[in-house]
Amino acid sequence: MEVPAYLVSKVFSNNAVLARLGDEERVIVGRGIGFGRRVGERIPADQVQCEYFELSPDRVHYLDLMNSFDQRTFDTCVEAIKQAADLLGELHPSVYMVLADHLAFVVQRLREGNVIHNPLIDEIRATFPDEFIAAEVVLRYVNSSLDVELPPDEKAFITLHLNAARVGTSVKLPLQQANALAGIVQFARERLGYPGISGAVHDELIWALDRLTKRLRAGTFRSNAAARSVERDLPLETELASQIVERIWASEPLPHGTAGEVAYLAVFLHGWKQDAGNEMQIDPARQKGATR
């Protein structure tokens, strides 16, 4: 019986090819899968030791975009993603097309003098710490291999793609999570004040609210035996903490057990305001500065 075979219709790089198996067209990704391949060449299915995904209509445009980037750039991006996969584990194979396309496009824009900034880098780093570390590896590899200097903000974009590939969703979902955290942080900052605080103090608030958000979504509420005392002694912080928890939960009523989280957050906010205030006393000029 004849073994089914993929028919190569396009070679993207040494690590990615477009091939047809019967009536289905797929992108096959794997180390060396495209090396020396030619259009029309057959790849026996039983010899394919790699992941692949069906080419859905929403990904077709990536095929045309690949033609605008040089082979070395695309191969470098694919290899960088493989290093990220070594750290994070299995990634959805579409990341080799989607993220490689993104990186190649960014490299091209950088060489043309265009740099894209990401205002959510702090929130993204807090929300997806593992993917952010892997993104740093990707960025270093691309920069050193292609002799470019992609900006640090690019780590945030890479992180979103890696998280999407890790959980098997579109990049819109992790972006929504980062935006939601940014909105909560902004809500808290508007009520706490101190617009000119340093990045370190600002990051403390981001990390605290990120951990709170993850606990609430997971339903792992912490109890606090001193909750009533905290509410009595820190009424303003308790009120703000309650508002923050309500915004995170985003539905009524709040589940039983969140009183402990409100108390812990109120104590944190009380300490955070002292840290920010002390910093302003040390350097009053910061009060006129812009928030990160």
Domain boundaries, the chain: 5-55, 71-170, 180-288
Residue 98 near residue 36, CB atoms below 8 Å: no
Residue 117 near residue 176, CB atoms below 8 Å: no
Residue 266 near residue 238, CB atoms below 8 Å: yes
**Residues comprising the chain, all counted:** 292
Residue 12: how many other CB atoms lie within 10 Å: 26
Residue 169: how many other CB atoms lie within 10 Å: 12
List per-residue pLDDT tens for the chain, 292 residues long.
567 888 888 776 666 777 888 877 777 766 677 788 888 998 877 766 555 555 555 555 655 566 566 778 878 888 899 899 999 998 887 787 788 888 888 888 888 888 888 999 999 999 999 999 999 999 999 999 999 999 999 999 999 999 999 998 889 999 999 999 999 999 999 898 876 666 788 899 999 999 999 999 999 999 999 999 999 999 999 999 999 999 999 877 888 889 999 999 999 999 999 888 877 666 655 544 444 4
Residue 84 near residue 103, CB atoms below 8 Å: no
Tokens (6 digits) for 84: 């990220």
The pair phi, psi for residue 189, each rounded to 5°, is -65, -35
d(CA 241, CA 251): 16
**Which 3 state secondary structure label does DSSP give 140?**
helix
Q: Is domain 180-288 in CATH 1.10.1790, yes or no?
A: yes
Q: What is the pTM of this model?
A: 0.79
Record: fold of 5-55: Transcription Regulation, Sacy; Chain A (2.30.24)
Domains 5-55 and 71-170 share a fold: no
- Name the burial class of residue 208, with classes exposed (0-12), middle (13-18) and buried (19+) by CB atoms within 10 angstroms of its CB: buried
d(CA 92, CA 79): 15
Q: Which residue has the tokens 């000119």?
A: 196
Residue 180: how many other CB atoms lie within 10 Å: 16
Record: fold of 71-170: PTS-regulatory domain, PRD (1.10.1790)
